[in-house]
Structure 1
Amino acid sequence: MPEPLSISEHWGELAEDRTDQAPLISLSTALETSWLRQGIRRDAFLGELLKGLHQRRLVPLLAMLPRGWRLAPAALPERLQGIGSLLEQGLVSPLLLGALADDLQHLIPHPQEHDSHLDGLDRWCARDISTPAGVPLPLPQSLQGWQDLARQLDEGDQDSGAESLAGPLPEPSFGSLGAGLVWRNHGLQALQNGRCRSANRVMAQVFNALGANGLPNRSGAASEPYQFEGMDRPRQLVAWLQQHGWHCRGRIRASVASFGLGASCPSESGVWQQVPLAVPYRTGLMRHGLEIESLLPHCSLELELQAPEGEAPVLMQYYQGTEGLNGWAPLNDLERPWQNDRQNGTVAYPGEAFEDDQLGLALDLCDLMAAVHNSTASDGQLRFGGYGALGFCIDSTALLEQAMTGRSNLFPLTLGGLWRERLGLQLEKLLDAGLRPGQQGDQEDVVSRYRQALEQLPQDLSVQGEACIRAEARLIRCQPRHSPFLSIRRLNGELM
């Protein structure tokens, strides 16, 4: 079997692959090339390469590394040795993901003192946004104020010399490694310019703050609801935008997940080659007597707001993020033609788009889910805002899709029964305290849809019989129709 992250020799035959702008090299080849250039022991090379990576990035990277490049558990930080031993020889699976999600709160215990600055609930409710210098500014209350603040943030970003909002993590110090593999995508541009990215970032927090208006009064919370153009809920704001000529739609999206990591490696001629990253996994499903392997997806509800003037659209996404927030975040990506191009097929859009009343219902459900999930994580002081335990991005998106349509097109789903029960209990607690989900007249429908989704959403920890047929159908539906990865091409029909 080839390496799970092997690249097809046919990638680049289509102009839309844009290999002239982003030539690709596989992770295994990049590692071998960089290691041979250094002339040091493999374990020493890998140890230096991983030095300085934040723990939140290091865990998925351990699962990305080719089998011959995985560090022995003893070479990892003490807190990660347990996870490292699980990943040392094999691929992750839905069952392992579910177990890790459940036990992560114990394997990596929460600090003794609860750091409210990192609290997902506080971040969701925040009515300010920070400049590149860390200065908090109040959220705008009008379209004009939003445009002015976006321009101010963009100018501050340029003045500070900071990385773009779409940029990857700063690379660690590589010392003697020289011009080898680095954990960033050198030479790539952002999907949108700086002002648009700032506008996305501000509007995402506007939607979060509007959604938080439905929460029962919290200690220290503002007494008056936050408003934008006189609207106090995301659904109302979208309806107002549509009345003023905006086109608004939401779509469930799925693409290959890289967990915020990027990588590139210079060729001998000095051209930066991009290294496609992904987490390979065993699906637990059989085809022709062999277990199917695939790559973990990143899933979200993509929201596109297009102004009547024809400017670049506002792009945001709702999901449960690794940064510890269940809510809206800007869709501020680097332009990676092999992973996140919305036109060339590397992003899958299973299902129909949500518009008008359907979009309004989806926004109400996002508000309800964010309230329940963020408050559950806050009350329980869960690590990473409950990421994993309360679902990964796949689960939060699938839960929304299930509530909207009565089914989901996504795989793998690992939200466990215990945590579903806890979310259900938190829902009842918030309702008793005065939670106001949705608009008047639709509140019972929104709550009922969420309850049913918690009960009926499939679980892919261990499936057999007819459930395997349905699970494989979901696996196929959420695959990108175009990809450089051989493992994806085997599933989407590109490799026959």
Structure 2
Amino acid sequence: MADNLLGLSATWGHCADDGTDLAPLIALDEALEQSSLRRGISRDAFIKELLSDLNHQRLIPLLLMLPRRWRGQSASLPEHLRSLGSLLENNLVSPLLLATLADDLQHLLPAVSKSSAINALERWYQRTIKGSAEQNLDLPQTLEELWSMTAEAMEELPVMPKKSSGTLAKISAMGGVLTWSNRGLPNVQTEAARLRNRLLAQILNVLGSNRMPRAGTASEPFSFESVSSGRELLNHLNSQGWQSCARIRTSVASFGLGASTRVEEQWLQIPLAVPYRTALVDATGEEIQALMPHSSLEMELQPPSGSPLLLQYYQGVEGLNGWAALNELHRPWQNDRSNGTVAYQATELRGEQLGETLDLCELMAAVHNSEAQFSHLHMGGYGALGFCIDSTALLEQAITGTTNLFPLTLGDLWRQRLHRQLQHQLDAGLQATDDSVNRYRLALDQLPQDLFHDNQSRPEAHRRLKASQPRHSPFALVRALNGELSAED
């Protein structure tokens, strides 16, 4: 298993819900070896081409996913990434390394032009989203407008314009067979439904931004359905016959990357994930290795008729802490909401508790996005202020008094700065309930940290590690962690 951590289980496909008729699988290692990529490009050339454009936010995660012998020598990497390359060439990322990277992320990434960069608060405040042909769509202010805009989108957005060739596209063209996208898979929802998700996610972000102190008529609060907060909107929707619930979810993270390879007339899908060292040992004394999870608060809003609106809240690589659309391809091996490849925690949030959760989301977004702007953080503070796992765990801790997520790397330095930023915003006039403020402060103090453990904290860390795993997965490593089979399956 040393160099085959993304190896697939021979038992995947025995269940109809595994979807192998839609998505037959091949392991990444096997795909790299069998594709024309290996015949046409040396491994050194592959790594050099891969890292030629470091502004592409998905390149470093892809480097983490590659088998060791495909990562290349550190000398193949740009000067400012050679230290990182030497760490990754023969080792896996660990919680301690994640925390270090998060703290030093600002120095590893290329400088961003302040004149062109959109900071986290600006993203949170935006009252438009990008539509087809990159035009700006103003956020609707009523449900009627929301449905009208998306009904028209069914005709306008079936085919998105092709983007200019980037690094991954060039690699695909050179490889001929291996493609860095999931070819042949449908989306879970229609184009219209996905646009509704995107619009409502940003509507919730802007409603949350109403909590910030504003000055002047140009900064009038935003309203949707004549309400000005997420909690008020939830109550309004419930009064109109909508059903709403939210759950903490985890799935294997692929950082938005997909991969597939063509064999004759069929596309085989390549499941991607980031392996990591847990710093915990199993019963034999060996260090446990796992796959990095993506975590978020998933919210489903079901109207009286039609498909649900699907949203998620987390600290994301998109550059802000807030809501985003849950718009997914049908990847049955990674993000199926019913077959076990998404793990849901036991608490299902509804009614008053869901309203309190939306209050917390708005408070956290106000604090995290303000700190990202104040400290001039790259990517809206992603990593430094916590990864998606940390932000979701912080929310879960504030709601329930505990968390089931692992690994957690939010450092004490940034916890102190978030405490300070919270008080600064409250003094400036941030609107927040005492209950939300107290829950958030307590969660910052009590949220576990997985950088070092002792005899007291280790059993709880083991429990959270297992609770964060999918219940069903094609990866032999995940199945081994769940006790279903040996890692050599």
TM-score normalised to the size of structure 2?
A: 0.94
Residue 229 of structure 1: aligned partner? 225
The answer to whether the 8 Å contact 1:185/1:274 transfers is: yes
State the secondary structure of the residue aligned to 1:85. helix
Residue 293 of structure 1: aligned partner? 289
Q: 2 CA distance for matches of 1:362 and 1:110?
A: 36
Give a deviation string over 1:369-401, Cα, whole Å, max 9, x none. 000001100111101111000000000000000
Q: 1:324 offset after TM fit, Å? A: 1.0
Are 2:486 and 1:486 aligned?
A: no
Residue 176 and residue 124 in structure 1: after superposition, are their counterparts in 2 closer, same or farther (change >3 A)?
closer
Residue 327 and residue 256 in structure 1: after superposition, are their counterparts in 2 closer, same or farther (change >3 A)?
same
Residue 259 of structure 1: aligned partner? 255
Residue 28 of structure 2: aligned partner? 27
Q: 1:493 offset after TM fit, Å? A: 2.8
* 1:191 counterpart (178, 188, 192): 188
Q: 1:169 offset after TM fit, Å? A: 8.7
Q: 1:106 offset after TM fit, Å? A: 2.2
Give a deviation string over 1:315-343, Cα, whole Å, max 9, x none. 00000001211100000111100000000
Unaligned runs of 5+ in 2: none
Map 1:201-280 to 2 at 5 A.
201-217=198-214, 222-267=218-263, 269-280=264-275
The answer to whether the 8 Å contact 1:326/1:373 transfers is: yes
The answer to whether the 8 Å contact 1:35/1:42 transfers is: no
Residue 303 of structure 2: aligned partner? 307
Residue 171 and residue 99 in structure 1: after superposition, are their counterparts in 2 closer, same or farther (change >3 A)?
closer
Q: 2 CA distance for matches of 1:108 and 1:160?
A: 30
Q: 1 CA distance for matches of 2:435 and 2:99?
A: 30
Residue 108 and residue 64 in structure 1: after superposition, are their counterparts in 2 closer, same or farther (change >3 A)?
same
Are 2:463 and 1:473 aligned?
A: yes
What is the identity, as a one-letter code, of the residue corresponding to 2:220? E
The answer to whether the 8 Å contact 2:40/2:175 transfers is: no
Q: 1:109 offset after TM fit, Å? A: 5.4
Q: 2 CA distance for matches of 1:262 and 1:225?
A: 39
Q: 2 CA distance for matches of 1:176 and 1:395?
A: 37
Give a deviation string over 1:205-241, Cα, whole Å, max 9, x none. 01001011001126x8843211111110011101110
Q: 1 CA distance for matches of 2:463 and 2:173?
A: 48
Are 2:327 and 1:332 aligned?
A: yes
* 1:282 counterpart (260, 277, 287): 277
Map 1:78-97 to 2 at 5 A.
78-97=79-98
Give a deviation string over 1:155-200, Cα, whole Å, max 9, x none. 432365458xxxx999512486353211100111111110000000
The answer to whether the 8 Å contact 1:286/1:292 transfers is: yes
What is the identity, as a one-letter code, of the residue corresponding to 1:248? S
TM-score normalised to the size of structure 1?
A: 0.93
Residue 67 and residue 148 in structure 1: after superposition, are their counterparts in 2 closer, same or farther (change >3 A)?
same
The answer to whether the 8 Å contact 2:37/2:176 transfers is: no
Q: 1:39 offset after TM fit, Å? A: 4.7
Residue 440 of structure 1: aligned partner? none
* 1:347 counterpart (342, 347, 350): 342
Stretch of structure 1 that moved more, 79-88 or 369-378: 79-88
Are 2:365 and 1:365 aligned?
A: no
Q: 2 CA distance for matches of 1:454 and 1:421?
A: 9
Q: 1:105 offset after TM fit, Å? A: 1.4
Residue 242 and residue 180 in structure 1: after superposition, are their counterparts in 2 closer, same or farther (change >3 A)?
same
Q: 1:68 offset after TM fit, Å? A: 1.2
The answer to whether the 8 Å contact 1:216/1:433 transfers is: yes
- Quote the sequence identity (%): 54
Are 2:443 and 1:453 aligned?
A: yes
Q: 1:151 offset after TM fit, Å? A: 2.9
Residue 422 of structure 1: aligned partner? 417
Map 1:39-78 to 2 at 5 A.
39-48=40-49, 54-78=55-79
The answer to whether the 8 Å contact 1:339/1:346 transfers is: yes
Residue 142 and residue 175 in structure 1: after superposition, are their counterparts in 2 closer, same or farther (change >3 A)?
closer
State the secondary structure of the residue aligned to 1:488. helix
Stretch of structure 1 that moved more, 347-356 or 54-63: 54-63
* 2:452 counterpart (462, 469, 478): 462
Q: 1:299 offset after TM fit, Å? A: 0.1
The answer to whether the 8 Å contact 1:171/1:184 transfers is: no
Residue 240 and residue 67 in structure 1: after superposition, are their counterparts in 2 closer, same or farther (change >3 A)?
same
Stretch of structure 1 that moved more, 344-353 or 36-45: 36-45
Residue 321 of structure 1: aligned partner? 316
State the secondary structure of the residue aligned to 2:265. coil
Residue 124 of structure 1: aligned partner? 124
Q: 1:10 offset after TM fit, Å? A: 0.6
What is the identity, as a one-letter code, of the residue corresponding to 1:158? P
